[in-house]
Amino acid sequence: MSSFDSEESFFLALNAISKGSHDRAINHLKEINSGEYHGRAQYLLGAEYAEIGMYERAKQFFQAAIAEESVREMAILQKGLLHVFLAENDDAKLCLSSILQNVDEENPLYWFAHGISLSLDAKYQEAIDSLSKGIKLNHVNEPLNQDMQNYIASLSRLELGEIDSSGKNSVTKTLEVNNKFLLTNYKDDV
């Protein structure tokens, strides 16, 4: 039993995340079972598990975070990106389609989801245009913009033929070549 309340546990977890201490972060986040910080804790647990390669567990925590209004769309986007990374394109499209159906075009997440979906259909220039539009609209989450810039760079490499684009999972191959799983904890924006 922890002597920390939910708020303390949350901020201790953020500190551990910033220092790359996954074990401490996970321990603190697991202590948050309800209340104001619960949804964000579920989201960050998903991110931490993805960072250490426990992808199935990451999906479970992103799914739990989706139930929480405060982080729903961000959790859906990250779960979609996790599916992309794992070459689960149908699951990624399903995940991302829920953002496209539930947020308006003034929300940058709409354009990020749209761009990622287009990339899965090898429509790289259209995807780049969509992701760029999302970046222009996003004034609150700079780390997310940076991740989308990295995604654009990956797509540009595919479009220029610098990476073999044959096969169903060329976007996944590109992310692997760049050794970049596009998932940031967004600790200040969750």
Residue 70's pLDDT band, with cuts at 50, 70 and 90, is: confident
Q: What pLDDT, on the 0 to 100 scale, is given for residue 180?
A: 42
Over the stretch 104-138, which tens digit does the pLDDT of each residue have? 999 999 999 999 999 999 999 999 999 999 999 99
Average pLDDT for 30-38: 87
Task: Render pLDDT for 81-93 as a digit per residue (tens, 0 to 9).
Answer: 999 989 999 999 9
Topology at the third CATH level for domain 6-177: 1.25.40
pLDDT per residue over 175-184, tens digit each? Answer: 544 434 445 5
- The whole-number average pLDDT for the span 23-41 is 91
Distance CA 24, CA 19 (A): 10
Can you tell me the distance from the alpha carbon of 81 to that of 171, in angstroms, rounded to the nearest whole number?
11
Q: Write down the pLDDT at residue 190.
A: 44
pLDDT at 179: 36
Give 170's contacts (C-beta < 8 A, 6+ positions apart): 122, 158, 163, 164
Residue 19 pLDDT exceeds 70: yes
36: confidence class by pLDDT, cuts 50, 70, 90: confident
Which class for 105: exposed (0-12), middle (13-18), buried (19 or more C-beta within 10 A)? exposed
Mean residue pLDDT across the chain? 86
Phi first, then psi, for residue 110 (nearest 5°) are -60, -50
Q: Find the mean pLDDT for residues 65-84.
A: 92
**pTM across the whole model:** 0.81
- For 91-104, the pLDDT digits (tens) are 999 999 999 999 99
pLDDT of res. 132: 98
pLDDT band at 162 (very low <50, low <70, confident <90, very high): low
